[in-house]
Amino acid sequence: MKDTDIKRLLYTHLLCIFSIILSIFIPSLFLENFSVLETHLTWLCICSVFVTAINLILYLVVKPNTPSKRSSLSYKVTRFLKCCIYFLLSCFFFHIIFVLYGAPLIELVLETFSFAVILSTFTTVPCLCLLGPNIKAWLRVFSRNGVTSIWENSLQITTISSFLGTWFGAFPIPLDWERPWQVWPISCTLGATLGYVAGLIISPLWIYWNRKQLTYKNN
């Protein structure tokens, strides 16, 4: 039971990584002059769409959490709309935090916002897929000893590693190397992506190594 779960987790994560890699290579077939650094905003949008899509598909196919009892259509629709609103709210929230961290307030608004969108994609979308629009569940998962399944555990790890990647991604900005990727917000988005990918790889491995110690109360 547990090993198969971990295997499923690994496969879904590999699919996510694959979608990110696809988002780098596929657009260059259709778009001219596409490159991750030069047409960064386009890449951000495509990457965000790809990752969201794969997350949704995986959620519908794998169904990691138990289906809720109420399954009327209206309930599903309101739930979906709620999720959309939460996603938008998280984008604005991240945008505000970036500005508080020192991103320019008036210039480069589009860049900052697309950065907020991609970070929400890496963090909020999996949360919404797995936990639904339920803030209390989120608080539970992101506090110490609050996880109840390996899915939640991996969610915790990928989200935290995305944030850490973003945080470390800001480091090269003040250096005077004058590289194209030091421009705001490219280094941060790259950091977030790398952090997300690293989280995707690390979490199944970490859960596998620690499978003896991890005991979830509800299973």
Partner 1 sequence: MRLGSGSFAACCVVVEVLGLAVFLRGFFPAPVRSTSSSEHRAEAPVPEPAAGASSNWTKLPPPLFSKVVIVLIDALRDDFVFGSKGVKFMPYTSYLVEKGAAHSFVAEAKPPTVTMPRIKALMTGSLPGFVDVVRNLNSPALLEDSVLRQAKAAGKRIIFYGDETWVKLFPKHFVEYDGTTSFFVSDYTEVDNNVTRHLDKVLKRGDWDVLILHYLGLDHIGHVFGPSSPLIGHKLSEMDGILTRIHTSLLSEERKALSPSLLVLCGDHGMSETGSHGASSLEEVNTPLILISSSFERKPEPGFEQFKVSERLHRNWIKLYLEENSSAALLNLGVKLRRQYLDAIRTLSLSLSRQVAQYDIYSMVVGTVVVLEVLALLLLSIPQALSNKAELEVPLLSPMFSLLFYLMFLVLSAIHVIVCTSTESSCYFCSLSWLTAAGVMVLISALLCAVVSALSEMFVDGKLQRKNTGPSNSRWSELDLLILLGTMGHVLSLGASSFIEEEHQTWYFLTSTLCLALCHEIYRNCFLGNCCEPGLGGAVVALQDEDAGKVHKSHTPLDSLRGSEKWMALASPWVILTCCRLLRSLNQTGVQWAHRPDLGHWLTSSDHKAALSALSAFCLVVTFVLLQRRCSRTSRVAMALGLLGVYCYRAATGSLLLPWQRDKAASKGIVEARFVYIFILGILFTGARDLLKSQVAAANPKCKAVGLWEMYSGLALLAALLLRPHNLPVLVLSLLIQTLMTSFIWKPLGHDAAEVTVMHYWFGQAFFYFQGNSNSISTVDVSVGFVGLDSYMEIPAVLLTAFATYAGPVLWAIHLVNFLSSETCRGPAMSHACFCYALVCSFPVSVYIILVTSLRYHLFIWSVFSPKLLYEGMHLLITAAVCLFFTAMDQTGTRSRISS
Q: And the tokens for 181?
A: 């990727």
Is 202 near partner 1 (CB under 8 A)? no
Q: Give the interface size with partner 1 as a residue count (CB under 8 A).
A: 24
Sole residue written with tokens 């945080």: 167
Q: Which of 62, 137, 194, 201 forms a contact with partner 1 (CB under 8 A)?
A: 137
**Nearest C-alpha neighbor of 43 from the set 69, 30, 65, 24:** 24
Is 146 near partner 1 (CB under 8 A)? yes
Is 183 near partner 1 (CB under 8 A)? no
Cβ distance to partner 1 smaller for residue 38 or 107? 107
Is 148 near partner 1 (CB under 8 A)? yes
Is 105 near partner 1 (CB under 8 A)? yes
Residue 131 Cβ vs partner 1, minimum distance, rounded to whole Å: 11
Residue 5 burial (C-beta neighbours within 10 Å; 0-12, 13-18, 19+): middle
CA atoms within 13 A on the CB side of 209: 5
Residue 191 identity: G
Q: Are 142 and 162 in contact (CB under 8 A)?
A: no
What residue ranges bind partner 1 (CB under 8 A)? 97, 99-102, 105, 136-137, 139-140, 143-146, 148, 167, 170, 173-176, 216-218
